[in-house]
Structure 1
């Protein structure tokens, strides 16, 4: 059979399989209200960002639903059109759109959207403003089973609504701690375990780190890449669990001069200075490039690192092609949960719910909206997507299986609760006052002074607080104020016009 015929046959089989699967989904998910199913409806789904090319979202979520529900036509609506920036000639100053206000516009007015797709931060704001419907009454009425949802997902969503569900998420992305089994065996050290504290992990990192110069093997890194920066690397995974703030909720006073901040800077700076974890000085631009040279974990240069579940594919591919890679030996690895802080032993999963599905309080077609949300969060849909989603996991744990036939601790990716979303008021302040980003950025100067043994963490944080308070005062006097790298204030020319 020639290639063109075989290609057509594959396409035919794919369409047939999709149709067969769709019919199964239809029988499993649409078994009531026959009269209303015959009525033609337009279901409007609103999302924060998008463009004229909505093929990805339709392929992921709506194509099969429309096939199984021929009386419902899906219309996608975006709050912020990405194309408006693509074709800008730069003559007009860029203004960060207000995400919440943009979303509210498509949820109100004469033709509001029915379904709202948002991340958890946006969903929390919508809940606080009473803009989305609680789903619990519909879940109870239809006896929709949520017991199979990963606790980290369902509990995280309930936390947003104070114990009430206002949205469901069919999938999630997550990180865990990967470790090299051989490096631990060689060092005679017990490997990490689930829910280890950060201090436990850092202590083990000291025991397995070894070697000097280019042969150095680090005990731990916040990510797998060369050329790391401890100041930024510690912000997300380590500090998010402590929920430390740089300044107060009004952006008027710095909060970094505290015992908790001092302990964080002491801990991380010492790990970097002692070469237990890599920093910028660990990167040698003259080192010969190889397919794995930028990956510290795969190249055997670090014993433990944090990565997402998608990294499993790269590990498997490298190990499967080991014979083709010069000076590479397959890595014997496993994963455990992200480390935790003792005061929050069940939180720290780096779990991201980028697409939560909710019902607009003003939805003209609330019943159809629930039908769609129930569909994409149902068991049959999870079964289908569990085989095709590369970068995320389905939220129903019965269909979460190890990738590529491997055996590893897959529960590590969903055993912990996610960090709470950032404060909505802080997010709004950051958009209204862009200079606030520099208040955080300038902190790197003071952290570097600690790294160079020019200042103690306590001295550096005190100076950062003093510098930051001056910057916050400048912003208070003029919200358009921005800063150079050293914290020198200026007002962009376009901000002075009009």
Structure 2
């Protein structure tokens, strides 16, 4: 062998080693040191079940990184130290203390908590790592990266593995039988209720066909969901005024009340565990229902269950379109949210191992697995597969809403007692029921409802102020 071939072969071997190392760390340039030569590392994660964590995530990750071990910290101690009456601010403080005390490296959080943790400085900024290591971001569903930046104060502190989204399920056979055109993507809530009104309803409960099924919602909660999807706000940003005295809310309330009066909205008896299958959408008794991906499982279960008459439910053709939208913003929805967001803590001891876990869990490898699941909607659009021969585009077509209005966060921000949320749903249900029972007209019930809600908001604000004073 000639003398010049040895150094050349050495260069090739070294180049290959550098390439492999770059592949392991995501790129040749990074602000974090590479994993040790033996690939070892340790990641401390907060999770309520070590077995569940390893089954769903840890074992799959260890196939690629066998030398990285996990330490699972049960959050029981955190929850026991927090008193719900002390409010969300107290929880954030306790969570920060817990992360530092237990040396947590990775947190799995949700959209609202992600924003608070980032603002409090508890999460490690990922922007430079993403750029330097060329972490793939271009195949996330539209709007996801924008939402992460918005909630992170124009920076990215975590990455999602999936999204949570609803769809409008509809019974194709019932629409055909009654000569009604099937729902389409991006309808308004009013259009959905107008379709529901065209179904027969009827006084005979046994033969009644409902236009829409509330699922497991109360009618008050169901109507509020339709209002939220329509971008109709309940209270102002300072939580001083009820904003439901508008044409949008009046129209929604009136249409909903008329459907109830005509027996065209199906409400589950929440004491009847089989109600969903016996008289709801899965049993073929309602034309439409809003639900999550678990409706696939409900449809399977219903096909093998018996109805109220003791007969097996008959299978029928069904499909899905997007949830109702605000016509002014038809490409987005407040009902589309990020699923679990994985983030490296700013105090993480082993940031490299933690980052490798976050990259893997939110990257293409796990997206391929999640994209085949009936329960999970992957955050990456290229990996979402059909489920049981049905396209999942109804769940993934809409972007998360920009500057998403959340009544819950508005109540928290202004220290309003949570009682208002419960009072709102209860009073809505009472008002709607009074129309259904013929005690009031829709206009009368609506006009009397608004001042009642305003009074309830002011009372909740007073209680919230007292609760805050007690904490001090």
- Give CA-to-partner distance per residue, 1:6-49, whole Å, 9 cap, x none: xxxxxxxxxxxxxxxxxxxx997667676635475432334xxx
The offset of 1:122, in angstroms, is 0.8
The answer on whether the counterparts of 1:184 and 1:190 sit within 8 Å (CA) in structure 2 is yes
The offset of 1:349, in angstroms, is 6.8
1:166 aligns with 2:157: yes
The offset of 1:127, in angstroms, is 3.2
Report the Cα distance in structure 2 between the residues aligned to 1:110 and 1:84, rounded to whole angstroms: 15
2:280 to 296, 319, 325: 296
Report the Cα distance in structure 2 between the residues aligned to 1:423 and 1:285, rounded to whole angstroms: 28
Q: Secondary structure at the match of 1:357?
A: strand
1:356 aligns with 2:341: yes
1:11-90 aligned within 5 A: 36-38=36-38, 40-46=40-46, 51=48, 53-66=49-62, 68-77=64-73, 81=77, 84=80
Q: Give the match for residue 248 of structure 2.
A: 260
Structure 1's unaligned 5+ residue stretches are: 1-25, 483-494
The offset of 1:207, in angstroms, is 2.8
Report the Cα distance in structure 2 between the residues aligned to 1:376 and 1:298, rounded to whole angstroms: 34
The answer on whether the counterparts of 2:277 and 2:302 sit within 8 Å (CA) in structure 1 is no
Structure 2's unaligned 5+ residue stretches are: 1-20, 28-32
1:12-411 aligned within 5 A: 36-38=36-38, 40-46=40-46, 51=48, 53-66=49-62, 68-77=64-73, 81=77, 84=80, 98-107=90-99, 109=100, 112-151=103-142, 153-161=144-152, 164-209=155-200, 211-214=202-205, 215-223=207-215, 229-236=218-225, 238-279=226-267, 293-316=277-300, 318-319=302-303, 326-348=311-333, 350-387=335-372, 389-403=373-387, 406-411=388-393
Report the Cα distance in structure 1 between the residues aligned to 2:275 and 2:227, rounded to whole angstroms: 32
Distance change (3 Å), C-alpha of 1:423 and 1:132:
farther
The offset of 1:302, in angstroms, is 0.8
The answer on whether the counterparts of 2:367 and 2:380 sit within 8 Å (CA) in structure 1 is yes
- Give CA-to-partner distance per residue, 1:293-321, whole Å, 9 cap, x none: 43511222111111222222332455588
Distance change (3 Å), C-alpha of 1:138 and 1:183:
same
The offset of 1:434, in angstroms, is 4.0
Distance change (3 Å), C-alpha of 1:29 and 1:330:
farther
Report the Cα distance in structure 2 between the residues aligned to 1:184 and 1:463, rounded to whole angstroms: 36
The offset of 1:172, in angstroms, is 2.7
The answer on whether the counterparts of 1:168 and 1:377 sit within 8 Å (CA) in structure 2 is yes
Distance change (3 Å), C-alpha of 1:377 and 1:29:
farther
Q: Secondary structure at the match of 1:306?
A: strand
Report the Cα distance in structure 1 between the residues aligned to 2:198 and 2:463, rounded to whole angstroms: 51
Distance change (3 Å), C-alpha of 1:209 and 1:131:
farther
Distance change (3 Å), C-alpha of 1:82 and 1:178:
farther
Distance change (3 Å), C-alpha of 1:220 and 1:77:
same
Q: Secondary structure at the match of 2:282?
A: coil
- Give CA-to-partner distance per residue, 1:99-150, whole Å, 9 cap, x none: 322322234x466433221110111223344443443322221112122323
Report the Cα distance in structure 2 between the residues aligned to 1:456 and 1:321, rounded to whole angstroms: 39
- Give CA-to-partner distance per residue, 1:190-238, whole Å, 9 cap, x none: 2111122222222222334455412111122232x6xx632121222x1
The answer on whether the counterparts of 2:282 and 2:298 sit within 8 Å (CA) in structure 1 is no
Distance change (3 Å), C-alpha of 1:424 and 1:72:
farther
Report the Cα distance in structure 2 between the residues aligned to 1:496 and 1:83, rounded to whole angstroms: 21
Report the Cα distance in structure 2 between the residues aligned to 1:54 and 1:173, rounded to whole angstroms: 24
Report the Cα distance in structure 2 between the residues aligned to 1:386 and 1:233, rounded to whole angstroms: 29
Report the Cα distance in structure 2 between the residues aligned to 1:456 and 1:463, rounded to whole angstroms: 11
RMSD: 4.0
Report the Cα distance in structure 1 between the residues aligned to 2:333 and 2:84, rounded to whole angstroms: 39
Q: Secondary structure at the match of 2:227?
A: coil
